[in-house]
C-alpha cells in the first residue's frame, strides 16, 4: 500500500534525494501552476476533466466516479507505462490529495513500483508559498543592478549567478523582461508561478550574506513583487551600469531579436506611441515597418526610455548610488565583482 507524505517532508526530500514528482492533474491545471521540478502524467486530459466535473455538478459524485473510472480504465496501460519509464521512486499529487492522486498511487503501487502521495495536494504547497511570502522580511542585504535600458543588467546577473553569486532573477521568475516589450517571444508566468519560484530561491539563499537582483518596477508582466521585497529593494544600494549607446543598442537587438518578432514589436510600440514626441514616434513607426531596428531602438532610447530612467534616478539618495562606467559587459562585470568583494571584505561566492 502506498504511503502519504507531508509537504515539509517532500520539500526536505527534494534537497537530499532523487525521485520523480508527478502531477496527475490535467495539462491545463499543470500549465497554470505546479510544484517546481514536477512532470505531468494526467489521470484526465482537459476535456475529460471537464466532462467528469459536469457530471459531478449535474448528477452527483457517484455518477462522476463511475464516469471517471470508465475513462481511466481505457487509458490505464499507457498511464502505467509512463510511470514505469521513470525508473525511480515516484511521488504523486493532485489538487487536494484526493481521488486522482489516490487512484494514480494505487495502480502504480499494484504494479510493484515505489510510490507515495502528497497529503493535501498542491493546495498545501500553495498555502506554504503564501505563508512564506507573508512572513518573509527580506532581511538579507541587497545589491541592485540598475541603469539605462540596454546596459545588460539581466546578462550581468546571469553571469554573476554562473560564478556562484546569490542572484534573484526576478525577470526569469516572471518570464518577462519588465518593459512594454517585455513579453515578446515569451509566455509570462502568472502570480502563483512567480511566487512559487521566488520562495524556492528565497529558501536557497536564506543564509546568504546578501543577494543581487535587478532594479525592477513593482510589476513585472503578470507578476507583482511582494511589498516587503519591493521596499527592501528600493532602499538598498543601487549599482548603476553605464555603457556606450552603441553597446546598449547591440544588447537590445540581441535580447529581443526583433527580426523574428516584428509584428509583436509593432503592436507593443503602438501602446506607448502617444507618450513619444510626434515626429520621433512617426519615424520609429516607419523604421519598425521597414525593419530598420537599430534606428528604431536608438530613437526609443532617446525619446522614451532614457528620460524615464533619468526621472527614476532622483528617487534614490546619493549615498545609495554607485555608478559603474564601462566600455562593454566584460568590463562592467569585473567592476561589479570588485565592488561587491571590496564591500563585503570576503570571498562570498556560494
Q: Cell digits for 9?
A: 517532508
Tell me the C-alpha distance between 224 and 266, whole Å: 26
| Short-list 220, 188, 169, CA closest to 32 | 188
| Contact predicate 133/223, CB 8 Å | no
| Contact predicate 20/90, CB 8 Å | yes
Tell me the C-alpha distance between 229 and 218, whole Å: 9
Residue with cell 503501487: 109
Rounded to 5 degrees, φ, ψ at 204 are -65, -40
Q: What residues are annotated to the active site?
A: 94
Tell me, rounded to whole angstroms, the distance of Cα 238 from its chain centroid: 23
Tell me the C-alpha distance between 329 and 337, whole Å: 12
Torsion angle in degrees (nearest 10) through CA of 8, 12, 18, 22: 20
| Short-list 203, 208, 202, CA closest to 229 | 202
* DSSP code at position 41: -
Q: Cell digits for 81?
A: 507505462
Tell me the C-alpha distance between 109 and 103, whole Å: 10
Amino acid at each position: 500500500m502506498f504511503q502519504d507524505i507531508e509537504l515539509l517532508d517532500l520539500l526536505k526530500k527534494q534537497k537530499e534525494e532523487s525521485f520523480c514528482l508527478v502531477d496527475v492533474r490535467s495539462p491545463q491545471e499543470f500549465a497554470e501552476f505546479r510544484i517546481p521540478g514536477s512532470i505531468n502524467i494526467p489521470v484526465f486530459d482537459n476535456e475529460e476533466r471537464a466532462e467528469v466535473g459536469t457530471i459531478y455538478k449535474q448528477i452527483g459524485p457517484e455518477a462522476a466516479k463511475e464516469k471517471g473510472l470508465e475513462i481511466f480504465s481505457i487509458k490505464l496501460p499507457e498511464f502505467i507505462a509512463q510511470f514505469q519509464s521513470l525508473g525511480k521512486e515516484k511521488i504523486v499529487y493532485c489538487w487536494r490529495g484526493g481521488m486522482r492522486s489516490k487512484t494514480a498511487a494505487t495502480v502504480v503501487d499494484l504494479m510493484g513500483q515505489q510510490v507515495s502521495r502528497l497529503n493535501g495536494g498542491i493546495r498545501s504547497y500553495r498555502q506554504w508559498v503564501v505563508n512564506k511570502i507573508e512572513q518573509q522580511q527580506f532581511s538579507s542585504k541587497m545589491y541592485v543592478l540598475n541603469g539605462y535600458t540596454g546596459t545588460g543588467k539581466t546578462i550581468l546577473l546571469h553571469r554573476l549567478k554562473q560564478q556562484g553569486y546569490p542572484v534573484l532573477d526576478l525577470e526569469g521568475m516572471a518570464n518577462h523582461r519588465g518593459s512594454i516589450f517585455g513579453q515578446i517571444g515569451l509566455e509570462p508566468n502568472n502570480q502563483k508561478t512567480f511566487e512559487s519560484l521566488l520562495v524556492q530561491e528565497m529558501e536557497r539563499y536564506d543564509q546568504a550574506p546578501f543577494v543581487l537582483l535587478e532594479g525592477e518596477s513593482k510589476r513585472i508582466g503578470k507578476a507583482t513583487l511582494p511589498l516587503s521585497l519591493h521596499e527592501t529593494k528600493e532602499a538598498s544600494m543601487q549599482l548603476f551600469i553605464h555603457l556606450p549607446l552603441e553597446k546598449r543598442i547591440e544588447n537590445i537587438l540581441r535580447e529581443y531579436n526583433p527580426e523574428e518578432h516584428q509584428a509583436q514589436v509593432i503592436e507593443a510600440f503602438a501602446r506607448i506611441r502617444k507618450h513619444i514626441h510626434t515626429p520621433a514616434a512617426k519615424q520609429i513607426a516607419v523604421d519598425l515597418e521597414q525593419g530598420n531596428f537599430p534606428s528604431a531602438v536608438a530613437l526609443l532610447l532617446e525619446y522614451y526610455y532614457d528620460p524615464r530612467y533619468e526621472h527614476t534616478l532622483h528617487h534614490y539618495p546619493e549615498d545609495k548610488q554607485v555608478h559603474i562606467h564601462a566600455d562593454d559587459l566584460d568590463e562592467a562585470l569585473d567592476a561589479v565583482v570588485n565592488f561587491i568583494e571590496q564591500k563585503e571584505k570576503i570571498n562570498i561566492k556560494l
